[in-house]
Each structure stands twice: as structure tokens, then as C-alpha cells.
Structure 1
Amino acid sequence: MDISQGPGSVLRHPGYLNFAASRVFSSLSFQSIGIAMGWMIYDQTHSAFALGLVGLCQFLPMAVLTFVVGHVADRFDRRRIGLVCQLIEAVTALVLAIATWQQWLTPAGILAAVTVLGAVVAFERPTMAALLPNIVPASMLQKAVATSTSMMQTALIVGPSLGGLLYGLHPVAPFAIAALLFAVASFNVISIRMQWSPAKREPVTLASVFAGVSFIRSRPVMLGTISLDLFAVLLGGATALLPMFARDILHAGPWGLGL
């Protein structure tokens, strides 16, 4: 094993630590307020349908913006896109914190916030992922991706637990902490040192917009892999109903929901 190419050397690479910190803090915040919003909307409505709407409002912006995101990421500074996205997320979390504190937050307000966050995440996640090859050399890219993926998976597990714990302490806490972490993430993304500039892109055409679809259709293995993942995500959507199970069946409260 080449120690010089291990995870430690990746974290010491200029810009990579800022990149990883930005993604982890953003993911922690998103997962944390996601669990809090799910609990709140069920607490207010006692409706499984309302819980389903949370997932729908999060998914629809991502589906609608799919063909726009790639071209935006290719033609603008990806760090600035990440910065704008995370600042919008920070403001949204802060508004949720204030609305919860003042008891203004309604189910419609929660669904509106989820829609905004879904649209922003649709831009943030692929743009940040596409930023990595411009930060580390090709020889370190595999380690960089593996390290980043491990950190993100950890954030996906810790985030909901943190959200449930904070909500159990006080309903405002998960939103206030998320706003702070989004702000820290935005500071890190603008601090990323780029080693290489993205290649210049051709003008946008109808063919270039749907080039990804043509590429996937021409490769059956990739189409099968993506389809498998699609069905896994669709069936995994049942987790949106967990607040109902935690509250009415397990009587576990927000801490139990987070865990």
C-alpha cells in the first residue's frame, strides 16, 4: 500500500479539506432539519398523506431541474454556485428557526421550505461533486472520492440523529444549528483552492441538453445500474412515514425518531 496516497494525504491536499468540510456540514444540516420538519408536520396534521407530500415537494424540484443543473455547473464558477446554494439554505433554516420560535410555522410553510431546499440541493450536490476533479490531481482522485463518500455517508447517519436530539432539547434548536452549519459550509466552499480550471464548454444546444440521456441509453449496463438505483430509492421512500411510527406506534418521541 502506498501510504503517500492514503486518506491522510488527501486531507492535507490544499483545498480538499475545505471541500470535504463544506459537503459534510451541509449534509449534516440538511438531514438534521429534514427529520425535524417531518416530525413537525406530522405533529401538526397527524396525516400520513402530509408526510408523503414532504417527500414529493423535495423530489419534484430535483426532477424538474435535472437538465438545467449540469449546464449551470459547467458554465459558472462551481464554488460560487455552492456558496449561493448554502447561503440560501442557511437563510431558509434561519427563517424556519424564527417561525418555529414565534409559532408561525404551518404545514404549508413547512412544504414551501422543503420545496426551496429541494431546488437548492438539486444544484448543490452535483455541482459540488463535479468540483472535486479540479481540486486534486488524477492520481489522488480515487482516494479523494472514497474519502469524501465515507464522510458523506457518516453525515447521512449522524444528521438525522442530531436532528432528533436537538428537537428533543428544543424545537428551535435543529433549525438554528443547521443555519449555523450551513454558514460554516458556505465559508469553506468559497475557501476551496482550485488547482485546475474547468475546460471551456460549447454553447448550449438541444442536443447538448439531452446528451446525458443519449449516453445512458447507448450503454445498457449503465442504464440497468441507474434503473436499479431508481427502484431502490422509490421503495426506500417508505422511510418518510417514520415520524408516524415513532409517534403513534413506538411512542418514542423525536429522540427515538432521530435514532
Structure 2
Amino acid sequence: MTSPSLLKHRAFMRFWIGQMAASFAFQMLLVGMGWQIYNLTDSALSLGLVGLARYAPQLFLTLYAGHVADNHDRQAIMLISRALMTLSIAVLAITSMLGSITAEIIYGCCIAMGISRAFEMPATQAMVPNIVGQALLAKAMTWTASGREATTIIGPAIGGIIYIWGAGALYTSSVLCSLLSAVILFKLDYRREQRPRQPVTLDSLLGGLRFTWRNPVIFGSISLDMFAVLIGSVTSLLPIIARDVLETGPWGLGVLRSSIAVGAMLMSIYLAWRPVGNRVGIKMFISVAIFGAMTILFGVSQTLWLSVLALMVMGAADMVSVVIRSTLVQLETPDEMRGRVSAVNSFFISTSNQLGEFESGVLAAWVGAVPAILIGGVGTLGIVALWGYWFPTLLRRDRLESDPESK
């Protein structure tokens, strides 16, 4: 008879492989959209608008998506969302191959992707504790983060190479990866606690937000990450830095995007071998401070190798913060609230990533790409100082599992 522990490992590995295929598709997609729209418009603002178009649906749908994740089949939600994502990428592929792609089509597909991710992210995040159990949760989060960063390394690099044959070829490759993910996850052996469904009420919709606000460990960790990345994000400006500062082509852009993930994956391997352990609060704050310092170094760099090094250290520092934050959120939240709290967490992540891209694009259009990056790095260091003062409970947190000081 197969042991329950082995069954959990098998189910998680199937879930992990499916998620990695989807992440691989998305990372290739980002390289194609960024390079294509910058060449179509020659505008830094257009790079920001791509992020805004993906973010806007999540702004309006996140709370409802969390309620749906707590009251409906999370696996079905994930698969439907994945189907919408695949359809959106297919539109980009077809219009690119026909030569009819426009900036407006890209923005429209980004909106559809934003709708997909608004529902998918809280559902998939809330599934993990049910698949592996709390005893294996920290390792599962590390493996998930490690795999995601691996695809972030390989995806942009391969995406930059495939783009040599055109955007249509790149988007088609993304479609195939997304379809593979759906097939793998379709037969996932997943079970969750059965509970009566709650009606859609204002109280239910705001439940996750209230829970997050009242827990200084959860709110402090996700808001620290949100504002640090919102202010210090450089991702949307990489096409400008690659073409205009470092004078490279799509391959160089792929290398830059992969560099962040190389550092993150190396750190995740280290964390799998040597878990964070104690003093998790101070380690999280230090990692975010290093992220800000490396943002400044990237902004002043004029050579590819130094830019790559700065991005690698940024990725490693961010990985420490990601593992601590994601594990704390799941361990501090009861299962009946995980969909809604994961939706709040997803909203904060999307705000930092997509709105951060928009903010970077607007600021770069106003003051230039390099000054915008330097402002972001200095701002991130300021955020660390403020959050250390405002959230002493998080700063003093010793271990990932609950302790008296976290209450």
C-alpha cells in the first residue's frame, strides 16, 4: 500500500511540473511582448502600459476571485484560468504571423491575461497546503519558488533565441507550453476540505482583507515586498537598457531577464539545503535592503557583465524574501480563509509587478531610464527603514512557524 506521504509527494510533483510548464510559457511571452511593443511604438510609456493592462483586471477582480477560491473547486478555477491564458497567447501568435499585430491587440490580450491571473493565483496558492500538508509546506514553497525561477532563467533566454524566427514563433511556443500545463494539471489528484458555500456578501469579500490587516506579520511582509518592488522594479525598463545603454539585441534582453532568475534559483537551491531557520524577520529586511542596493548598482552600470552581476544578486536577495513571505502567509492563515488571503497576497504581488512596470515606464518617460532606476533603488532602502519602524513584530519574528510574538 502506498503511504500517504508518498502520495502527497507525487501529487505535489505533478502540480509542480504543471505550474513550471505554465511559468515557462509566461516567461517566454514576456520577452516577446516587451521587445515587440517597444519596436512597434519606440515608447517607454508603452512598456508601462503593458504592465498596467495586466494589472487593471486584478485590481477590480481580486477580492471576488478570493471568495470564489474559498467556495468553489480550486482545481477547476485553475484550469479555466489557464484556458483563458492560452487563448490570449494564441491571439498574439495568429496576429503576429499574419502581420496584423498592433499595440492595441497586445494591450487587449494583456487585459485577458490579467483576468486569468486574478482568478488563478489565489486558487493555486491556496491549493498547496492541501496537497502537501503543513509539515512539508516550507519545502514546497522553496521548490515552487526554485522551479519558477528556473523557468525565468530558461524561458527568457530561449524566448530571445526563438524570437529570431519572429514573434509568431515565440508565441506559438508559449501556447504549446500552456496547453501542456493544462493537460498535466487536469488529472491532478487534489482534495480539499468540504465546507458549505458562503453567499457573495460584502463581509465575505472583505474577509481576507480584514484578516490580513489585523495580522501584522502577514500585512507587514506582503506590504514590504509590494512597495519595495513597486518602487525598485527594473523589469519593464530592461528593453531600454539592453538596446540603448548596453547596445545589445533580443539575446541581450533575454540574458538580462534571466540574470535575476539565475541568482534567485541559486539562492533557492541553497535554501533547500539550508532552510532559513531562525531570525526570519531580520533576514527578510536585510534581503530587501540588498535588493535596493543592487538596483542602484544596476542603474549606474555601463557594461553587460556588471549589470548581469547586479541583477543576479537582486534575484538572490528577492528569493529570500519570497520564501519567507509566502510561507508565513500560508502558515498564519486557516484553510477556510486561504483563498481570500491568497487573493490579497496576489493583489499585492500584482501591484508590485504590473503597477511597478507602469510606474517605471512613466518615470522613465519623464526623467529617463537610468535616473528612474536610481530613484527606485534609493526609494527601496527608504521603505526598508520605514517598515522596520512600523512593523517591529515582523522584524523580531524568529521562526516561520507561529510563535507568541507574532500574535
TM superposition score normalised by structure 2: 0.58
Distance verdict in 2 for CA 1:62–1:10, change over 3 Å? farther
1:118 is matched with which residue?
114
Cα separation, 1, equivalents of 2:75 and 2:221: 30
1:239 aligns with 2:271: no
Does the C-alpha gap of structure 1 residues 155 and 198 become closer, same or farther in structure 2, counting only changes over 3 Å? farther
- Contact kept, 8 Å, 1:10 with 1:140, in 2: the verdict is no
* Contact 2:8/2:132, CA 8 A, preserved across alignment: no
| Greater RCO (Cα-Cα under 8 Å, separation 6 or more) | 1
Q: Is the 8 A contact 2:28 2:155 kept in 1?
A: yes
Deviations 1:157-191 (A, max 9, x none): 33222222221343222201110010011111111
- Residue number among 55, 60, 70 corresponding to 1:59 in the alignment: 55
Q: Specify which of 82, 86, 89 is matched with residue 86 of structure 1.
A: 82
2:186 aligns with 190
Alignment of 1:35 onto 2:31: yes
Task: Describe the shift of the 1:10–1:110 C-alpha distance in structure 2 as closer, same or farther (beyond 3 A).
Answer: farther
Deviates further, 132-141 or 187-196: 132-141
**Offset of residue 223 of structure 1:** 2.5
- TM-fit CA distance, 1:10: 6.8
Q: Any conservation in 2 of the 1:136–1:195 contact (CA below 8 Å)?
A: no
Show the counterpart of 2:226.
230
Task: Quote the residue 2:91 is aligned against.
Answer: 95
Q: Which amino acid aligns with 1:227?
A: S
Deviations 1:5-30 (A, max 9, x none): xxxx7797332222111211111111
CA RMSD of aligned residues (A): 2.2
Residues 65, 17 of structure 1: CA spacing in aligned structure 2 closer, same or farther, 3 A cutoff?
same
Corresponding residue of 1:148 = 144
8 Å contact kept, 1:38–1:243: yes
Instruction: Show the counterpart of 1:72.
Output: 68
Deviation at 1:117, TM superposition (A): 0.9
- In structure 1, runs of 5+ residues without a counterpart are none
Q: 1:200 aligns with which of 183, 196, 200?
A: 196
Structure 1 residue aligned with 2:394: none
Which residue number in structure 1 is paired with residue 349 of structure 2? none
State the one-letter code of the partner of 1:73: A
Identify the residue that residue 47 of structure 1 maps to in structure 2: 43
Note if contact 1:23-1:128 (Cα within 8 Å) is conserved in structure 2. no
Q: What SS does the aligned partner of 1:200 have?
A: coil
Q: CA deviation at 1:95?
A: 1.6
8 Å Cα contact 1:10/1:144 also seen in 2? no
Q: Deviations over 1:195-219 (max 9, x none)?
A: 4444334333211211122222223
Higher alpha-carbon deviation: 228-237 or 20-29: 228-237
- The equivalent residue for 1:166 is 162
In 2, the alpha carbon distance for the partners of 1:10 and 1:247 equals 49
Judging changes above 3 Å, is the alpha-carbon distance between structure 1 residues 48 and 20 closer, same or farther for their aligned structure 2 residues?
Answer: same
Per-residue deviation at 1:42?
A: 0.5
In structure 1, distance between residues paired with 2:211 and 2:105: 39
Equivalent position amino acid for 1:147 in 2: W
2: distance between equivalents of 1:152 and 1:146?
10
Answer with 146-155 or 54-63: which moved more.
146-155
Distance of aligned partners of 1:206 and 1:200 in 2 relative to their CA distance in 1, 3 Å threshold: same
Q: Between Structure 1 and Structure 2, how many residues are aligned?
A: 253
SS at match of 2:217: helix
Change (3 A) 1:53 1:200: same
Deviation at 1:48, TM superposition (A): 0.7
Instruction: Compare 62-71 and 246-255 and name the one that shifted more.
Output: 246-255
